[in-house]
Amino acid sequence: MPRAFQVENITCRFGELAAVDDVSLEISEGERVALIGPSGSGKTTLLRTLNTMRAPVSGTVSLFGDSVLQFGARDLRKLRSRIAFIPQHLGLVPNISVLQNVILGRGGKRSTLRSLRDMIFPSKEDVREIHEILDRVGIEEKLYARTDQLSGGQQQRVAIARALFQKPEAILADEPVSAVDPARARDTVQLLSTLSKEENFTLVVSLHNLELAREFFPRLVGLRSGKIVVDAAPETIPESDMKALYELTESEMMTDA
């Protein structure tokens, strides 16, 4: 199966700290992968490297079969538009409508002028498409609501709708359920997993919640101190390995990458 992401021997540093340390990883198109591990293990840094938002100090990154080193700024922007990224704090603009936030999802595929025009004067086609997407994620009635007036769970669904409107080949989500209660967290992860299967896009999600990762992802990649220490189907990973993954040393408790 073609690869969506491939990193070979990448290292990313914050000063002297190797947040990602000599990591190699391949993720196939259409695959659903959860990145697990304690805070500071390197999950966020790895996701940002996969999205080319952070360049490694060594090693190579390839997206959809092409090394990112061969692309200039314009072509890299076009390549990046094939990937939707949902940051931990969702990245929504609070004081504009849900419709306008979702329209921003296609900004990487449109000029800045076109994006600004679409926010002020959205086309009937965009409004119809966004309404259909909001219906799929369960908040179709919030089309014209101000985003900062929504609940945390509803805002998560706006972020997912924005990602879907981008028409991505892959979605990367960094702890998308860290700020909601367990029931809403499960609903959100289930929604992402279902959409990935229906639309056949690659899904890579970092999660602290091990039970959600086990329930919805056929492949778990566990990181600790910037290194991959687990990469397997959840049912094949011994409990002892899971316990060791989350047992922090005193020095690890002081880092967050």
> Does 180 lie in the same domain as 63?
yes
| pLDDT level of residue 177 (50, 70, 90 thresholds) | confident
| pLDDT level of residue 179 (50, 70, 90 thresholds) | low
116 vs 39, residue with greater confidence? 39
Mean pLDDT of 51-57: 91
> Does 173 lie in the same domain as 74?
yes
Among 141, 167, 193, give the residue marking a domain's end. 167
List the single range of 48-62, 95-109, 111-125, 192-206 with lowest mean pLDDT.
Answer: 111-125
**Farthest CA pair distance, the chain:** 56
| pLDDT level of residue 246 (50, 70, 90 thresholds) | confident
**Residue partners of 11: CB distance under 8 A and separation at least 6:** 18, 20, 21, 22, 23, 56, 57, 58, 59
CA pair distance 130, 145, nearest whole angstrom:
13
> Does 241 lie in the same domain as 217?
yes
Query: Structural domain tally of the chain?
Result: 2
| pLDDT level of residue 4 (50, 70, 90 thresholds) | very high
Tell me the CB-side half-sphere exposure of residue 78, using CA atoms within 13 A: 6
Q: DSSP code of 228? A: E
**Which residues are paired to 85 by β-bridges?**
172
User: How many C-beta neighbours within 10 Å does residue 82 have?
Assistant: 17
List the single range of 83-87, 206-210, 231-235 with lowest mean pLDDT.
Answer: 206-210
- Full domain range(s) for residue 234: 1-82+169-257
Structure tokens, 61: 């990154």
pLDDT of 211 strictly over 80: yes
pTM given for the model: 0.89
> Does 73 lie in the same domain as 191?
yes
> Does 189 lie in the same domain as 63?
yes
**Residue partners of 246: CB distance under 8 A and separation at least 6:** 37, 38, 210
> Does 177 lie in the same domain as 62?
yes
- Among residues of the chain, what percentage have pLDDT more than 70? 94
CA pair distance 244, 242, nearest whole angstrom:
5
Among 167, 187, 214, give the residue marking a domain's end. 167
**Which residues are paired to 12 by β-bridges?**
20
> Does 91 lie in the same domain as 78?
no
CA pair distance 203, 214, nearest whole angstrom:
15
pLDDT of 55 strictly over 60: yes
CA pair distance 24, 215, nearest whole angstrom:
25
Structure tokens, 2: 């073609």
Among 144, 167, 190, give the residue marking a domain's end. 167
CATH, residue 200 = 3.40.50.300
> Does 231 lie in the same domain as 173?
yes
pLDDT of 45 strictly over 90: yes
Q: How far is CA 46 from CA 43, 49, 173, in A?
A: 5, 5, 11
> Does 189 lie in the same domain as 66?
yes
- What pLDDT is recorded for position 176? 86
List the single range of 31-40, 70-79, 86-95, 151-160 with lowest mean pLDDT.
Answer: 70-79
> Does 143 lie in the same domain as 90?
yes
pLDDT of 253 strictly over 60: no
CA pair distance 205, 181, nearest whole angstrom:
18
| pLDDT level of residue 114 (50, 70, 90 thresholds) | confident
> Does 176 lie in the same domain as 66?
yes
E strand intervals along 57-143: 58-63, 66-67, 83-86
> Does 140 lie in the same domain as 62?
no
